Structure 1
């Protein structure tokens, strides 16, 4: 009965009724689930954590985050049980917290372990999901574009599946892109050019890396729209009908590998410093989510320079004046320069998705779509 109710909740969409304990219950269950996954990552770091991330984060900070997440999830679930609100949901959250504690909770020791093992990016999934929900749902509620759009809008399950899979197979993606970049573009590396790039002042180097990456992104993105074989992949991303922080996760894994390879190629060839690349990754990560978000944010004249949610929402529109427009990921002036910027008499588009709505809903169906579509 409990699993059936949780399954029904996972398959539903719409607003959560306030005052019933549903909102706090879902928050408690989500935190409890992330804590449970976190304790598994502590037990099996060699298989469940990303080597690149291990070197970046502080384990003690993660232990503190897990501790407080368990406290919030457990106390919220307990209060809901005491006040008789959605007890089945609260019981599920409390059970997960108890399992996490039984497995050692935030105190699980992490001893030495082999570094070169096959892995899935469970830590990357946990941190990104927790950070994204805390930051972007808050921003969407603070500056909403479509006020009536719920957090759990239609088809959110499909986009969450894309989010999970694309994060879990981060090892495969990194391995594939690094291999392709080195194999295809290793010949272009010039020590003198790399030395010159690494001597640039940090702000100049940061501007250059974003500009170079966005130029590649622009023409790659344009090719996805203009080359039929590539559109088969990219149509999956465009099939989302509601824009929010999760919408950008809907992306075919082959497109993800191909785009990352092409964008990383000039970064590899030019030899930017680690500090510049790390800052660029932060910028990319934020813009990729923020520009899909359900937020009413425009920058006035700066909107001609930088890509904003308003600019990118038009790219996802079915409206006739928006088809095959607004390709840039960072600098909007590229579309104005190349003549592909949207010209519309309205501030925001009406409808989103693929014109004709021919892309199926569901992760596995969308994974197969480019190879089965008869269009």
Structure 2
């Protein structure tokens, strides 16, 4: 065999062993629709996801000062995280190896198994963590991993138990775009908090009165939390309403409204400008009033849960509570493109605010017929949606284009 033939043969082997699995993985990540059981796709996707997140977790152990969130790293147990990482590696490795042996989704499983091997070689769950500086720039990789795992485990189960649309697939159309929004929003949390903190102190610091803050902090926990949520929601309501009624601001908010399928991931679609601006508007009054740290921590949990839950593919009977708190039924109407839903249901926590200000949806229908922006003019793709407010057109999309 000539040297040229040997080179071609070697290249073919490399293509089959390396390029083919990567191409298959890339192709799978570009698909949407239901995963049918019994073909190895579900276990392969689980193995691939856990393998990838495990590798990210190992990197976070190696570089905690740059990849972990300061507020979180002081609260969680490193030993517990090591155990979770070990379990994830074992599950991902076991699933991918079993599929390789059984010949099910072998190429995809090879990629998942390779991720497990790389994570293990880099130290796995035994990476030592020494002393490190606490005031370095960071991208919140740990928050991304924990939130993605937690949200997937909790909200996917809730959606399957109490679905509004029973035939809706977990991997619905444009899920890839919203996952990118989810990731970027978490990775820039450090930058966002830095900007928000700077703006709050420089724009609103002069309004702070320590005696009044002491009065607020001495209110009992539950009424103080309810007051905190009310203050935040009043700020959220008027900021949200401005996004709808001011054309320039709508171009940013239209990104969030462009999602056409509601589920737990849909709320992640958001322009970075809106992400930061809304946090300033909402946190400024909370900062001025000086709510206690315990109440603020509780509020963060409340807003984090409702932000995901109210976009979820969930239907429950709420009774009279539907007039008091914002539920998925209430917020789905806000995302609808039905005529009676346009510029309605602005509240994020307390539904009675919309009834008080006359912006609650009034419709004989139980559920919306369609979602998204009227005219469906928003392009798909994270980068194009971030650029849309500056150069995109709000003219209705040509269905034949």
C-alpha deviation, 1:76, in angstroms: 1.4
Counterpart in 2 of 1:219?
Answer: 238
> TM-score if structure 1 supplies the norm length?
0.99
Larger Rg: 2
Counterpart in 1 of 2:121?
Answer: 102
Decide which moves more: 49-58 or 77-86: 77-86
Equivalent positions of 1:202-281 (< 5 A) are 202-281=221-300
Partner Cα separation in structure 2 for residue 273 and residue 62 of structure 1: 29
Question: Alignment length, in residue pairs?
Answer: 375
CA deviation string 1:302-350 (max 9, x = no partner): 1000100000000000000000000000000000000000011111101
Task: Identify the match of residue 198 of structure 2 among 176, 179, 187.
Answer: 179
Contact persistence 2:259–2:269 (CA under 8 A): yes
Equivalent positions of 1:163-202 (< 5 A) are 163-202=182-221
3-state SS, counterpart of residue 89 of structure 1:
helix
Partner Cα separation in structure 1 for residue 295 and residue 135 of structure 2: 26
Q: Would you say 1:316 and 2:335 are equivalent positions?
A: yes
3-state SS, counterpart of residue 113 of structure 1:
coil
| CA RMSD across the alignment | 0.9
3-state SS, counterpart of residue 328 of structure 1:
coil
* CA shift in 2, pair 1:298/1:221, >3 Å: farther
Partner Cα separation in structure 2 for residue 353 and residue 374 of structure 1: 15
Contact persistence 2:22–2:108 (CA under 8 A): no
> TM-score if structure 2 supplies the norm length?
0.92
Counterpart in 1 of 2:93?
Answer: 74
C-alpha deviation, 1:374, in angstroms: 4.3
Which stretches of structure 1, 4 residues or more, deviate above 3 A after TM superposition?
Answer: none
3-state SS, counterpart of residue 158 of structure 1:
helix
3-state SS, counterpart of residue 260 of structure 1:
helix
Counterpart in 1 of 2:362?
Answer: 343
Counterpart in 1 of 2:51?
Answer: 32
Contact persistence 2:97–2:109 (CA under 8 A): yes
C-alpha deviation, 1:373, in angstroms: 2.7
Counterpart in 2 of 1:53?
Answer: 72
C-alpha deviation, 1:296, in angstroms: 1.2
Task: Identify the match of residue 305 of structure 1 among 324, 344, 350.
Answer: 324
Contact persistence 1:298–1:308 (CA under 8 A): no
Gaps of 5+ in 2: 1-19, 395-401
Gaps of 5+ in 1: none
Partner Cα separation in structure 1 for residue 66 and residue 210 of structure 2: 36
